[in-house]
Structure 1
Amino acid sequence: MTKLTQSLIRLHEVQRRTGYSKAWIYRLISQKRFPQSVKIGTRSIAFIESEINEWINQRIAESRGETA
């Protein structure tokens, strides 16, 4: 049985990668237009890195008129 390794990244890293503010990321999440966060502690969240990468790749493809 193969175990998949998934990495979690914190909000600050998501902001750095997307160029979006915290408020804008939360707005997109509420509109179901951005990957959902994962609760990792009482007051902590993170994001699944592969989902963020895929989201970024989709935005790039859309901006270039490519179909994903």
Structure 2
Amino acid sequence: MRFIKLKTVMQKTSLGHSSIYKFIAEGTFPKQVSLGAKSVAWLESEVDDWIEEKVRGRG
């Protein structure tokens, strides 16, 4: 497992930070993991799964 930061999540998904947090609030995007007082990251595998789900659902 590997943690990725917001910048990398944005690059992988082509989403802006406000869209990512909106989708998290809606329950349609993986939640971030707290790494400390002011640091969060996402599990890369969960973000990759979300991307694959979007690809599968396009047809």
> Greater CA radius of gyration, 1 or 2?
1
Q: TM-score, normalised by structure 1?
A: 0.84
Q: TM-score, normalised by structure 2?
A: 0.96
Q: Which has the higher contact order (CA 8 A, sep 6+)?
A: 2
Hey, what does 2:53 align to over in structure 1?
58
Query: Which of the pair is proportionally richer in helix?
Result: 2
**CA RMSD of superposed structures (Å):** 0.5
**Identity, % of aligned positions:** 32
1:57, 1:33 → 2: CA distance? 13
Deviation at 1:41, TM superposition (A): 1.4
Could you list the runs of 5+ residues in structure 2 that have no partner in the other structure?
Answer: none
